[in-house]
A and B are shown apart, each in its own frame.
Chain A
Amino acid sequence: MVTKRTEHKWGMVVDLDRCTGCQACVVACQAENNIPINTKDYFQQRRAYEWIRIERYWEGEFPNVKARFIPILCQHCENAPCEPVCPVFATYHNDEGLNVQIYNRCIGTRYCSVNCPYSVRMFNYWQPNWPDRFRNQLNPDVTVRTRGIMEKCTFCVQRLRRGEVNVERRGLEPLTGERITGEKKLNYRQMKEGNYLPACVQSCPTNALQFSDQHDETGPVKERFDEANEQIETRHHGGHVDESHTRVYRLFEEVGTKPNVIYLKKVDSFPLEKA
């Protein structure tokens, strides 16, 4: 008998009304994923590595001006434009809804990057370089990528795997180490307690980022994904979705990529008058 891996479908919800642009997610991601230090030169050459970045948009002019923030990361699209263009199958979709990059296969054509509407794929233009002491901090669960290959957000797959191993295979409660007697399926509480949520989500001080299995009744994203999927179904069948009464949307929905990241609209109490 061979046991099958427990089925999961991961998803993230980003609440723009909570996001303040504080950068906690950005630094947490860099620490977790062995991202090279972004030097001044990298920024000046427009080649900084940020698997998650906070984009800031200005609206209006002084004194009626607003700054809007949006965290942008790999959307882990169901219909990912980056996947079919890879000539060596270095990027593929796994059975848990993750868009995965195989570093060993990548030959650096950068086709995927060109085809990504979200610009979340980073190319290693340089060999990553840390002073020797900083190397002590590198996460042993994450590959250090070499020059010439593509990288991007993985939803911290190494954390998901660690959670699956500890909860689903070993059957241990993350916090207490006690044996689990009931269902051994990694749930939201266990992910939170065991630090198995993606690093950005775990750090986000306003809880603007939420993550769990899309089918997990106990998780914070199921309701939102159900609503978003219903919208897609309605549109697919020619129906109308009243955009002004829902907070749920997907980035560049019209492109048809069907991301596994959902955004919640920013609530605007005093909208600016459009010119």
Chain B
Amino acid sequence: MKLTRRNFLAWAGLGAVGAVACEGFGIRHGELDIQSSVRLPEDLVRGNDNWYASLCRTCPSCEGIVIRVMEGRAKMIQGNPFYPTNQGKIHARCESGLQALYHPDRISSPMRRTGPRASAEFSAISWQPNAMDALRTALQERGRSSVMITEPLRGHMALLVDRFSTAIGAEHLGFEAIDNNTYRAAVKNVFGQDSMPDFDLDNAAFILSFGADFLSTWVSPTRYLRGYGEFRQGDNRDRGMFYQIDSRFSMTAAAADKWLPVRPGWEGHLAMSLAQVIIEENLAAPGVNVGSLTGGDAQALNNFRPETIAPMAGLTAEMTGGDPVEFLKNLARSFAASRPSIAIGGGSAGASSNGLFNLEAIYALNFLVGSVGEEGGVKFNPGSPWDDVPSTSKVGGLEDWARITEQIRSGETKLLLLHGTDPIHGLPDSLQLRDAIIQADDLMVISFSPFLDDTSALADLILPDRVSLEDWGDDITEPGPGYQMIGFQQPVVNPLGDLDPLSFPDVLLTVAQELGKESQLPWANFKSMLREGSDALFELNRGSIEASSAEEFWNNLLKRGGWWDEQSTGPKSVQAPAGLLKTIAGKASSPDFSGIGMDADSFYLVPFSHNTLLDGYNGHLPWLQAAPDPLSTVTWQTWVELNDKTAEQLDVKEGDILRIESSKDSIRAVVYPTPAAPPDVISVPFGQGRQYGSDYATDRPGKESSNVMDILETTRVKDTGSLAWAGTRVRVSKTGESVSISKLEGDVRAIEIGLTPAEDIIKTIAPENA
């Protein structure tokens, strides 16, 4: 355009109007400044982020999460505020899903073993045709004598894997190093329920917990933590009272008002003792048919009088602040009077040879105080809203793994398929599964793990799966919140360009169809299988998602992260089996500590699930290795908790390496003396001691990282066949070696423990003044 006087005036006029308009629009203070380099860069906000709902897979409870995505990369994980079980909250473990996604040690493509088994020498191959051909051939030739071992599965993945296993003739078993089979059996025997119950901690007035570290690792800790916060300081309610009866001072015990150290394996006897007092003193809740519970035999519980049980359970006047018998009676009275009250049992209480008796006795207390099915008590969950989709798959116990080891040794099992588990690390060494696999002449092992671990290191073929943030999935939440709920998982990012994983369920569907199994597995991919599930939910025409079409329902389902129906609750009340307490009393037995026996120079070994690494499942994630243990504050290492006075007697100090020996084997661990360990108990966390895989999991040879599973006796829990992991006695000896302990305690100088009195930092108040 030619510059004329007229044009010039027109443009000048427009410019002036623009300038006035800009002023009028209200530009914020500082907006037009040239940014100074001394400004805080965080003051500047760039770009838009998106939040997608999905599911966390770093622990079995499977929380609802939202993931922040910017420029195609996942940046942050937080709790899904709508998700009924965790209600916007997460555990430390959830966050590290990001590190699994961007882990430097992810297996980038399919691999075939090139060296001898256990040499962990592999070479990369392509998916097509090599890897898929090898998988298909293995299934064709060995499918009828194969075993599929997966993590415990729920929802459509359980359906798919069950059908796939049936189609190829394989046995499918879920694997958990610390399985819940004994807890499930107790719930079934006491409440007649197939799925785990919910505990309404929000509304409880009294919690009595035996052995369950439910605020840290047991079953559904994020849900319980949220409820615990309300139990303590919720609006419009009085602060609840909490007793923890436990042979180890756990994070949960630390949160309790009173911790009562009990001799390992005697939790059930204590629970029966409390029941005896409640019955004898007529303290049962109104309407409770005590006669039915005792089978009409008022004397049924006479063997469990506190006078008999207190010394057997190792209670002393020092522990109970007076006469232990009177303490137990008072505890029974408070528990019965402070309704609604809940009795919870799990963890080490269910992990001795008499674990099933212990848990049944504990859960039966809930009938006496009338908290079964009630607000503030034990609530039950309904089954799956889908008829054909299992809410849970079978999880094997120690007996199953012993049988499978034998099958491998005898050559009966010729193919092992592994997904989401590391049984070599998670089973006692004395079972010799590793040796059986290495020595088997005609065994093929195929792993679908995205990371190398102790079991996949033995594989012939590794077909890396996608990680959860890249893949589809669903979950029939267990334990649910008392009503039906399904979580949905969607891929929030694509795998990075240098990675070539394939979704495990998609691989199964593809290969099944290549093998002519379309009739059992007709879906094109896992997403279409889930979509079918979504359409079925839409047809139910109930629940949290409103939509006018199946397509809209699917979209809303993914946006919300799941579907739930508060009206579809589990049974509101459950009838106790007649003579329940009498039946349980008949099962009573003392815990079995075979192995090195009860010599005076030996200790009870009470291992525990690591707060962040759990049983070792998260061992390769550095945030979780570096998260201090809440009590010892130790990171990265395997420590042994030893009573400080006992440590003095043994002449060991913090950082010394101790040899811990059972009748099976020995391990080494770094000493952490603590005032909270009972003098006759030592505790070692599960989770460390991996031999293969990421440096984050393995780069601390023997003396600082070891697997406590290696020394456990193979004692089984009676009637469930689970590993009695708290049923081992050990001896300890000095090695003369010492290391610098890797812990947070003492990391800061100004508020250092020992220099500043705790009461100056953490102030307390009496309940009546709070």
Which residues of A come within 8 Å of B, CB atoms? 1-5, 15-18, 20-24, 26-28, 30-32, 37-40, 43-44, 46-48, 50, 53-70, 72, 100-105, 116-119, 131-143, 154, 157-158, 161-162, 165, 169, 192-193, 195, 199, 202-208, 244-247, 249, 251-252, 263-271
Contact = CB atoms under 8 A, between A and B. Distances in A.
A37 B696 CA distance: 11
A21 B215 CA distance: 10
Interface in B509-556: none
B594 interface: no
Contact of B765 (A21, A116, A193, A247): A247
Interface centre among A1, A17, A70, A193 (most CB of B within 10 A): A17
B496 A136 contact: yes
A162 B319 CA distance: 53
Interface stretch (B39-47, B284-292, B438-446): B39-47
B251 A46 contact: no
Contacts of B249: 65, 67
Contact of A16 (B630, B636, B675, B762): B762
Given A204-B89, A208-B229, A270-B258, A105 B38 contact: yes
Given A43-B636, A119-B751, A30 B225 contact: no
B403 interface: no
A55 B630 CA distance: 9
B318 A31 contact: no
Interface in B747-763: 747-751, 753, 758, 760-763
A23 B761 contact: no
B676 A67 contact: yes
14 contacts: A22-B91, A24-B89, A31-B76, A53-B628, A116-B750, A119-B749, A137-B74, A137-B75, A139-B75, A139-B76, A140-B47, A195-B68, A205-B225, A268-B766
A42 to B, nearest CB: 8
A117 B761 CA distance: 12
Contact of B744 (A43, A64, A244): A43
Q: Which 7 A-B pairs have the closest CB atoms?
A: A206-B229, A205-B225, A119-B748, A131-B104, A57-B758, A21-B630, A268-B764
Contacts, number: 325
B631 A43 contact: no
A161 B44 CA distance: 8
A138 B74 CA distance: 9
Contacts of A131: 104
B635 A40 contact: yes
A134 B99 contact: yes
B751 A118 contact: yes
Interface in B25-55: 26-30, 37-47, 49, 51
A17 B233 contact: yes
Given A3-B27, A269-B767, A134 B45 contact: no
A100 B751 CA distance: 22
A269 to B, nearest CB: 4
B255 A244 contact: no
Given A245-B769, A267-B239, A70 B744 contact: no
Interface centre among B66, B228, B753, B764 (most CB of A within 10 A): B764
B266 to A, nearest CB: 15
B98 interface: yes
B761 A70 contact: yes
Contact of B226 (A133, A205, A263): A205
B636 A27 contact: no
B431 interface: no
A132 B105 CA distance: 11
B312 interface: no
Contacts of B316: 63
A57 B66 CA distance: 34
Contact of B626 (A39, A44, A162): A39
A137 B99 contact: yes
Contacts of A48: 626, 635, 744, 747
B254 A69 contact: yes
A27 B740 contact: no
B468 to A, nearest CB: 15
A41 B79 CA distance: 32
A141 to B, nearest CB: 6
Interface centre among A20, A64, A117 (most CB of B within 10 A): A20
B73 interface: yes
Q: How large is the interface on B (under 10, 10 to 19, 20 to 34, 35 or more residues)?
A: 35 or more
Nearest to A220: B235
B623 interface: yes
Given A40-B742, A72-B751, A134-B102, A269 B257 contact: yes
Given A5-B28, A43-B626, A270-B258, 16 more contacts: A2-B29, A15-B233, A18-B229, A27-B96, A37-B622, A46-B746, A50-B744, A56-B630, A61-B675, A65-B675, A69-B762, A136-B496, A137-B73, A139-B76, A203-B89, A205-B91
A59 B496 contact: no
Contacts of A23: 92, 611-612, 627-628, 630
Contacts of B37: 104
Contact of A140 (B26, B75, B233, B257): B75
B627 A27 contact: yes
Nearest to B239: A267
B224 to A, nearest CB: 9
B677 interface: yes
Interface centre among A56, A169, A249 (most CB of B within 10 A): A56
Contact of B102 (A57, A100, A136, A265): A136
Nearest to B758: A57
Given A38-B635, A69-B254, A104 B676 contact: no
A269 B258 contact: yes
B765 A268 contact: yes
Contacts of A203: 78-79, 89-90, 95
A105 B46 CA distance: 22
Interface string B670-710: 00001111110000000000000000000010000000000
A266 B102 contact: no
A202 to B, nearest CB: 5
Contacts of B761: 55, 57, 70, 251
B648 to A, nearest CB: 12
Interface centre among B29, B645, B770 (most CB of A within 10 A): B770
Given A55-B761, A141-B46, A192 B750 contact: no
A247 B767 CA distance: 10
Given A26-B627, A38-B635, A165-B45, A207 B229 contact: yes
B366 interface: no
B353 interface: no
B767 A267 contact: yes
B132 interface: no
A195 B26 CA distance: 27
A3 B741 CA distance: 55
Interface string B186-213: 0000000000000000000000000000
Contacts of A116: 750
Interface in B694-753: 700, 740-751, 753
Contacts of A32: 76
A264 B232 CA distance: 12
Contacts of B111: none
